[in-house]
A and B are shown apart, each in its own frame.
Chain A
Amino acid sequence: MAEATSQSNRQHWLLSLPAVVMFLGLLVVPLALTAILSFNAFDSTRGPLDEYTLSNYIEVFTDSYYYDLFARTALMSLGVTAICILVGVPETIILSRMRPAWQGAFFVIILGPLLISVVVRTLGWSILLGREGFINTTLLSIGLSDAPLQLMFSMAGVVIVLTHVMLPFMVISVWSTLQKLDPQIAYAARSLGAGPLTAFRRIVLPQLLPGILSGAIIVFTLSASAFATPALIGGRRVKVVTTAVYDEFLSSLNWPLGATVAVLLLIGIVLVVVGSNRIIERKFKQVFA
């Protein structure tokens, strides 16, 4: 069924032409311009210069400020990913055991926030996390702590809110893998003498692993790319790569340096995605062909 109707040889070009034009003109060209910009020299009084230099890259690679910046971003993303796995996987399994009507309702509740602006969700958290916010007042009033916790403008706060933003992605990813499982396999394990925990650990969990891993990739990359949440919750105190780029572009106005950091962020994320997909493919290809 590969063939379309007769004289169709050029049809697909016409159909894909608008998209190709759009993506070349509005995506490939701007990205290329940004890459070029990252090689431009910069003078604080005269702005970006037309000379080409590696000095921006040298600065990023030698200055420990940028090293800390990327390390902080990676650690933050790893932390969010780990919590999302620890919380999201059990929750997805709990969801899968519910009756369909409940399942549907809770899916809307858990996944619905994906469609609500991240600024709105972050605003809600900033109300909850503030020094006089509801979490601190509650903790103080029930005596769980004697001084307000510093959650706003802290890494802990950023991780909490990012976890909230990213959890739906983990649930979605694990859920799609869970749907492909043959429920009889777990029964088979039970009938062969495995207890419920052993059946889960030895039979179900290994089959969920691809879903967990692909969810982890999504959560990690989206966390490393997140801007509004670290900017609003972390503020100036918790700077990550994205907020640093924003400052270079809109405060320091050092566009070439900002472009360099942005290009490195993009490369880093592409490497993570491509690299982990490789690993997943190599490891699970035979099993889940």
Chain B
Amino acid sequence: MSEAPPIVVENLSFRYRTRTELAIEDISLMVHPGEMILVAGASGCGKTTLARCINGLIPRSYKGELKGSVHLYGRPVSGMTLAEIAQVVGTLLQDPERQIVASQVFAEVAFGPENLGLPREEVLERVGEALHRLGIEHLRERETFNLSGGEKQKVALAGVLAMRPTVLLLDEPLASLDPASAHEALALFRRLADEGTTIVLVEHRVEDALAARPDRLLYIEDGRVRYLGPIDSLPPEVDPAQVKLPAAWVVKYLRQQGKMTPPPPVPERDGEALVVFEDVDYAYGDGPLVLKGVNLTIRRGDLLAVLGPNGAGKSTLVKHAIGLLKPTRGRVLVEGKDTRDLSVAQVASTVGYVFQSPSHMLFAPTVLEELAFGPENLGFDSDATAQAVRESVQVVNLQGMEKYSPLGLSFGQQKRTAIAAVLAMRSRILILDEPTAGQDYANYTRFMNTLCRATDGRGQSLLSSRFAATLFITHDLDLALTYANRVVLVSDGRIVADGRPEDVLQDFALLERCRVRPTSLLRMNCEFLPKTGRFLPVEALAAYAA
């Protein structure tokens, strides 16, 4: 390998063919051998575009106007073939599901070296080495689609490492992992950097990414570099509203700026049972039990967060509340009626369910028609449908987009459309499956604040004014402690804890057993709990931190 630095980016600008504005503008950067650089910024800031310029997908797969240059070990990327680039830069995409192409782990890891036309013996050697390096030799013969999220990511990474790249480009690698798997992945990235691999880690969850001890931070806003340097403390150029930072940094920033807020009022709970799970067991087909003896009552006023690792049974649990799944044993009552005696459409008028991915539900030519679909199915007359649609558009702030095609909207806007589509059905209970998945910190904070934050002195939020109860599934512990008034911990198909966030989330040993990692915000809340009396969002907590 030449003496030149692994990556040199000089005055790089790019505009996608379909856009009028530049995606990145005048970016310059030099990355040294064995260095780990963290690239952070909100969605659409240009992080992924920069990554695509480095790995050659721009301009090969994504066309547009490119200015400036990227050099890998002194060679211009523009003069290299994809095969040449792939042997220098290994790219791990945001979602390992999108990266894995083969049906079996061995075939997946061998895929790259095979494409290089290497001799069979060398392919075998590289596969063995990559699997060993990541400690996943035992997965070698497994089918890829049956792996857990964390295993999939390791397999995807092994497939990249088998190309023996000296530079790793990791594009939001934590997005689809539960907190414990994310932590393991970060430790792995650190080890690879310590072994000499140059790493570009693109991530908006700066707090989590810090666990990998990156050497420098590149912070991008609106396509331009705002900060490039060390990250021992919060650089003034970095906006805490755009990326997720350690709570202590945010508190310091808020105090400096005088932006502390009073504690939000606690939403009222009146205890009326809306959905009741009685001794529920569930198994898919003749498989093992996914739910085991679940007893749970969702009550009026609940803003309930369901936490737990991938595969714990969270989605299976909530699908019972809408009747999409019926218990193998026990029963689920919705407003007193057994879901076995109700069709999903009948339950839908009581329980609204927003699926994790909007791509699975959006279909109509316009946002208005999309939102009218549910109410029409439930038999609303045209006036009531129009009224419900109008209100939903306002609630999720989609004004001006009513005539747009939902399929042409950004991911965040699609997510809001999906929620508005369920809001328009005027169900009594709202269930959100991973409401923040696929969105960056700035977007999901804005979105959750709109839905969950109180709009009046009685703690009424947009959600609580429209729904008797709301339940959301999440991996994000901070989301639970910031927005929920009740937390349910699910592990291995059982409910292992259920109560106020302050009661459930202080038991760190229990959290660890459920693969939920305490965050800096949780630790700070625990520290100040004697003064605050309850868990608070970071803006309110700032008032207590001296």
Decide whether A and B are members of one complex.
Answer: no
Interface residue ranges, B against A (CB under 8 Å): none
Interface residue ranges, A against B (CB under 8 Å): none
